[in-house]
Structure 1
Amino acid sequence: MISHGIRLERVVSNLAGTLLEVVAGNIDQAALVTDVAIDEPREQAELQPGAVLLCTGADVEHLPGLIDRAVASQIPALVLRSPLNLPAELRATIERSGVVLLGLSAGATWTQLVVLLRSLLASSAGTEERVAGLQAEDTFALANAIGALLDAPITIEDRTSQVLAFSGRQDEADQARIEAILGRAVPQHNRQAQERAGVFKRLYSSEKPVFFDTPQILGAAGLPRVAIAIRAGNQVLGSIWVAVRNPLSPEKEQILVDAAKVVALQLLRDRVSSDVDRQVRADLIASALASGPAALGAIERLRLAQRTVAVLGLSLPGDTADESSSDQTRQQFLERTAQAFAFHLSVAAPGAVAALVGDVCYAIMPAMTRQGATNLLQMAQRVSKDFLDRTPNRAGGAVIGIGRSADSADPTELARSRNDVDRSMRVLKLGHGSRVALFTDLQMDALLLDIGDQLRNEGGLVDGPVARIRQYDSEHGTSLEEALELWLDSFGNALSASAALDLHRNTFRYRLRRAAQIAQINLNDPDERFAAMLEFRLSRRLRDVG
């Protein structure tokens, strides 16, 4: 029995859409999975509480007995092969039992499920020691093994043509392969050429290796490719690409088919491990920035105790889409951008941690020394700008806000810095002109938005001087509001304001006097001028926010 456990909800979340689907039952938020057991009808071995029971040979007619056994043994979930056509009465029985019935997706194997469940359980036991760990070594070893069996250089790529791993002997390939290895992704112009040639449509619709005349497709000298899709059930995870001079022999094609199954398992294990790792890191960062009782413990686990830090936040506009890949949803693009930002920070700012919390990628960046925060905010701004400049397609319009520096030993300061970040990103999303900014540079803009929120809560602006002019203009077809606003924006310079409106200065001065009469304000009073300027600014903000 495995002594540690992981929430059933997390298991389903990680494997849903790839291997598992919820067929019936409600997931208890507190239910823990502690082991994986395979049903042996003949032996009826004793089951450990908390085990997920894999019913490899069972069907719908076996479910009543299996449900009774699960309830008696405190089994949180059963897994049967999908599809399952449940009668309404049986479905109701499952709902009442508290057991969750899961279906193993078509095309997925029981072996894959067992390995991934055990990997997930093992990962849950070791997450505290792996806050920012990555697992790439096994995938590279696998790539080398496949390359040796095929006697050719290979790459393992995801669905967006990012290079996940590659074998040795890449110098025997061609320039296109070298560019892909160096950039850890197939160059954009090459991928577009492949898309135009229907390469991915052919690749993903075939379960066998496909030969591609790459030099003809790319219009450049090089070697052809043989590729095969990597599948887990009905989901395509990526592909293996082999640089060859001639089509593979039937024996080597079978090696590649078998290799794709092994790689699928490895990618799923890496995905589960990475998902758990990212979730733990996200939970720790959220706790650290929440000013709650768990904040100091989270800071300790993030190895940021007794440090001067800055909080950063990356967010995307609401309408962002990944134009380079039509099958990428906004959430997938956000996750990918957050992962890239986290990796960039780990290299550019050692000790920094980042994770997606909700729809914002928050990061905590420590000062380079424990003695002080000299240039910390400037470094955060520089590193953030560098990320956006280096990211393909400029990260889909992402904005990055940077809060004030904080003492990590004071949860209140950290929470305040996070609030700075949220307010900064809101200003930046409204078109501040920059995509990276310090809160200190945006505080007045943020304050105007806060005042606007208060006004909306109170039912909007009451009828002040600007409202009176606007009403007069609407009724008489005049443009007094424009004249007054431009005069205020010009710091009272009538010549500059009249030139901007292409009016004679005397005509402009008449409009200004008339505007002051209608608005009932004294333009010689600095307080009244300021009040009018503030009303204009708030009116604009209210329109911008909608």
Structure 2
Amino acid sequence: MHTSETDRPESGSTLAQLLALIAAGTLDVVVAPHGTGVPVSDVVLHDAGEERDEEAWAATGLVLLAVGVEVASPEAVDVLRAADRAGAAAVVMRRGARGPRAALLEAAGRGRTALLARRPGLGWTEVLGQLRTALVHSVAGRPGGAAGMDGPRLGDLPGLANTVADLVGGAITIEDPQSRVLAYSRMDHEPDPMRRLTILGQEVPRWRVVELRESGFFQALWNTDDVVRLPADDRYAERLAVAVRHGSEVLGSIWAAADGRPLAEDAVAALRTAGRAAVPHLSHHRTWGRAAARAREGAVLALLGGSMQAAYDVGIERGRPYAVLVAEAYDAGGPAQGDVGERVLDVLALQAAADRPGCVTARSGPRLYVLVPAADGESDPAGTLLATARAVPRGAVLAGTGPVVADLSELPASRDAAELVVRVLRERAARLPAAGAGSAVASYAEVAAEAAVLRLLDRVEPLWEALSGPVHALLEHDRAHGSRYGESVAAHLDAFGDTAAAARHLNVHPNTLRYRLRRARELFGVDLADPAVRLLADVGLRLGRRTG
């Protein structure tokens, strides 16, 4: 433990306030001899094995997280007694398979320090983060607290950005330590190119990050509490930036740029104040913002799965028509993974919120789901989003929309239809790789026939796998020997028996195709002159493409 009496904040918060603000079940109060209304000044990790001069050690008002100490361990009593002598408000130990020993409970009852137990499965870092954020939260919620600035509710980063913009007189962007955009102020004027790139990409462009890192700008920013100035050059206007830090931890940064007018004369002082005021907001975002976002996405997915209760959690309007859009980042090998796919879907989610107020988005693996509100009588509310998906840079996107539904209970049907559209587009891309090199979008109405075929094949597939026959034998031979009989038969069927057209599609001579078709009949009995065999071949070959 390395925190001294002089550098601990005098927060005035109580243990009860912290316990009320952290996630339920994180900590259990084992014994609190003076109740939980005791004041807390800070929360620190405490190494019980660290040697110290007992007379010099003071921990008045601290909550000590006793790393490595379990309530049932022999050293627990000594750790608690030492913390009590030092004046600690509370000490937290890990709860193991066994409960606390009687000696520990007796020592806790005789002292002043509360004994708390951390539930299994949580790490000390997570507990430390929750308690410290709760500490800042409790201070910010009181008049004259840490925020130091009237304005948005705790965690409202867009509101904070707008408040700071009014004070600084410019455009504000709030970023995390990795230069990803957390929030930005409203745009009263056309943004300069860098601000536009940053907002649309939801992060500072990588090449710009490299520039700032190599110039030493980030090193200066992260190592001072003051405002750092980035001079104007022949490309971009002047920027001011300040790091937002809680103790030694950097939570992010606030950037100010001229927004069609010069920055205010006191912009530096205002931004310095904003850096301090932003601490509880970014702390809250780090601890609860991501969890809240995950919970909201979970509610959206539950609503798309048919849970009407989730509509209250999502906050969408009952009685208003909606359509579901599904977008999937895609490359030739299948759904795109990694940073490129993530960025493509992030851009689409941002565009959805900008183009159509009331849109609700959720991510699930490589897919983005968008609930698009429709005006009365509107049949294609997602048309603009589909156009955006078609033109999105840095990778292919498959995007489809389901029909507009009048009631929220019908959203799962719209989602199913949109997912089916994406499947149709994926199969097209796999069947025609050259045509699938770019983005592909469609509404359900545009691919209704192909979607219906997919539905039929889904139902037929279990029965097909239980059967055997000429087409099964042909497919098995192709898999085992790498032959191309199935591909040749499929091309012939798709070309309605036009051998020349099918040969051009396969890039082979027509005589080569005729030879393959003859061998398919001789070896396996796949006679395309027989209508029943043609039907079975079409079904079997379509199903065969699903499994390669």
Post-superposition Cα deviations, 1:361-399, rounded to whole Å, max 9, x if no partner, equal 433233301xx4x42xx332x1322443576x45x6554
Is 1:365 the counterpart of 2:372? The answer is: yes
User: 1:504 Cα deviation (Å)?
Assistant: 6.8
Paired position in structure 1 for 2:326: 313
* Matched residue SS, 1:286: helix
Is 1:240 the counterpart of 2:254? The answer is: yes
Looking at structure 1, the residues matched to 525 and 192 of structure 2 have their Cα atoms a distance apart, in angstroms, of 73
User: 1:214 Cα deviation (Å)?
Assistant: 4.5
Residues 53, 287 of structure 1: alpha-carbon distance in 2 compared, 3 angstrom cutoff? farther
Paired position in structure 2 for 1:68: none
Looking at structure 1, the residues matched to 239 and 36 of structure 2 have their Cα atoms a distance apart, in angstroms, of 50
Is 1:138 the counterpart of 2:157? The answer is: no
Pairing partner for 2:381 from 376, 379, 393: 379
Paired position in structure 2 for 1:64: none
Pairing partner for 2:223 from 188, 206, 224: 206
- Taking structure 2 as the reference length, the TM-score comes to 0.61
Post-superposition Cα deviations, 1:155-187, rounded to whole Å, max 9, x if no partner, equal 44314364844699x99xxx9x84345566487
Paired position in structure 1 for 2:401: 402
Looking at structure 1, the residues matched to 390 and 483 of structure 2 have their Cα atoms a distance apart, in angstroms, of 46
Looking at structure 2, the residues matched to 222 and 154 of structure 1 have their Cα atoms a distance apart, in angstroms, of 13
Residues 267, 310 of structure 1: alpha-carbon distance in 2 compared, 3 angstrom cutoff? same
Structure number with the higher helix fraction is 1
Contact 1:107 1:233 in 2 (8 A): no
Pairing partner for 2:362 from 333, 336, 355: 355
Residues 299, 345 of structure 1: alpha-carbon distance in 2 compared, 3 angstrom cutoff? farther
User: 1:528 Cα deviation (Å)?
Assistant: 1.4
Is 1:231 the counterpart of 2:245? The answer is: yes
User: 1:309 Cα deviation (Å)?
Assistant: 2.5
Contact 1:452 1:538 in 2 (8 A): no
Is 1:417 the counterpart of 2:419? The answer is: no
Is 1:536 the counterpart of 2:535? The answer is: no
Is 1:471 the counterpart of 2:477? The answer is: yes
Looking at structure 1, the residues matched to 345 and 509 of structure 2 have their Cα atoms a distance apart, in angstroms, of 53
Paired position in structure 2 for 1:265: 280
Q: How many residues align?
A: 447
Looking at structure 2, the residues matched to 529 and 275 of structure 1 have their Cα atoms a distance apart, in angstroms, of 54
C-alpha RMSD over aligned residues: 5.6
Paired position in structure 1 for 2:87: none
User: 1:408 Cα deviation (Å)?
Assistant: 1.4
* Matched residue SS, 2:413: helix
Looking at structure 1, the residues matched to 158 and 326 of structure 2 have their Cα atoms a distance apart, in angstroms, of 27
Looking at structure 2, the residues matched to 443 and 184 of structure 1 have their Cα atoms a distance apart, in angstroms, of 38
Q: Which amino acid aligns with 1:352?
A: C
1:13-412 alignment, distance < 5 Å? 31=25, 45-47=34-36, 56=43, 80-81=63-64, 84-86=67-69, 89=73, 90=76, 93=95, 96=98, 99-100=117-118, 103=124, 113-116=134-137, 135-145=157-167, 147=168, 155-158=172-175, 159-160=178-179, 162=181, 164-165=183-184, 178-181=192-195, 185=199, 188=205, 191=208, 194-195=211-212, 197-199=214-216, 201-203=218-220, 206-209=223-226, 214=231, 220=234, 227-232=241-246, 236-241=250-255, 259-269=274-284, 274-275=289-290, 278-279=293-294, 281-292=296-307, 295=308, 298=311, 302-316=315-329, 319-322=336-339, 333=342, 337=345, 341-356=348-363, 360-369=367-376, 372=377, 374-375=378-379, 378-380=380-382, 382-388=383-389, 393-394=393-394, 397-408=396-407, 411=409
Gaps of 5+ in 2: 1-12, 49-60, 77-92, 100-115, 142-151, 259-265, 431-435
Post-superposition Cα deviations, 1:223-245, rounded to whole Å, max 9, x if no partner, equal 6656443234665433234679x
Pairing partner for 1:490 from 471, 492, 495: 495
Looking at structure 1, the residues matched to 477 and 420 of structure 2 have their Cα atoms a distance apart, in angstroms, of 33
Looking at structure 1, the residues matched to 138 and 440 of structure 2 have their Cα atoms a distance apart, in angstroms, of 42
Looking at structure 1, the residues matched to 18 and 294 of structure 2 have their Cα atoms a distance apart, in angstroms, of 12
Is 1:437 the counterpart of 2:442? The answer is: yes
Looking at structure 2, the residues matched to 390 and 500 of structure 1 have their Cα atoms a distance apart, in angstroms, of 28
1:455-466 alignment, distance < 5 Å? 458=465, 462-465=468-471
User: 1:481 Cα deviation (Å)?
Assistant: 4.8
User: 1:143 Cα deviation (Å)?
Assistant: 4.7
Gaps of 5+ in 1: 13-29, 62-77, 121-129, 245-250, 324-329
Looking at structure 2, the residues matched to 276 and 473 of structure 1 have their Cα atoms a distance apart, in angstroms, of 46
Q: Which amino acid aligns with 2:163?
A: A
Q: Identity of paired residues, percent?
A: 21
Contact 1:231 1:237 in 2 (8 A): yes
Looking at structure 2, the residues matched to 80 and 6 of structure 1 have their Cα atoms a distance apart, in angstroms, of 10
* Matched residue SS, 2:339: coil
Paired position in structure 2 for 1:447: 455
Looking at structure 2, the residues matched to 253 and 346 of structure 1 have their Cα atoms a distance apart, in angstroms, of 32
